[in-house]
Amino acid sequence: MITNVSRRQDDRLTWKDIEMLPLYAGALILGALIVQGLQHVGPELHGATLKTALVVGVLGLRQWAGLDAGAGD
């Protein structure tokens, strides 16, 4: 016979579970505010990310091609 071992009959909602509800609600609200803020600054953040990726890519390409081999000495 297959039994559900993860859920016992005596599992009840305890005071600790109720105490955590405001923290969970606060975390959800904070997450929603962060998502809204990121959507608001999305285009600027996207442009800055592309510029950073381009600069890092160019520096990596120069290193890989050996163009900066003697520049640091």
Give the model's pLDDT for residue 68: 73
What residue ranges do the domains of the chain occupy?
Answer: 41-65
Mean pLDDT of the 11-40 span: 84
Given this model, what pLDDT does residue 29 score?
93
Contact (CB, 8 A) for 45 and 39: no
Q: Sort residue 70 into left (φ over 0), alpha (ψ -120 to 50) or beta.
A: alpha
Radius of gyration for the chain, computed over Cα atoms and rounded to the nearest angstrom = 26
Contacts of 45 (CB under 8 A, 6+ apart): 38
Distance of CA 73 to the CA centre of its chain: 39
Who has greater pLDDT, 2 or 41?
A: 41
- pTM confidence score: 0.43
Digit-coded pLDDT (tens) for 26-65: 999 998 988 888 788 777 777 888 899 999 999 888 888 8
Give the model's pLDDT for residue 56: 93
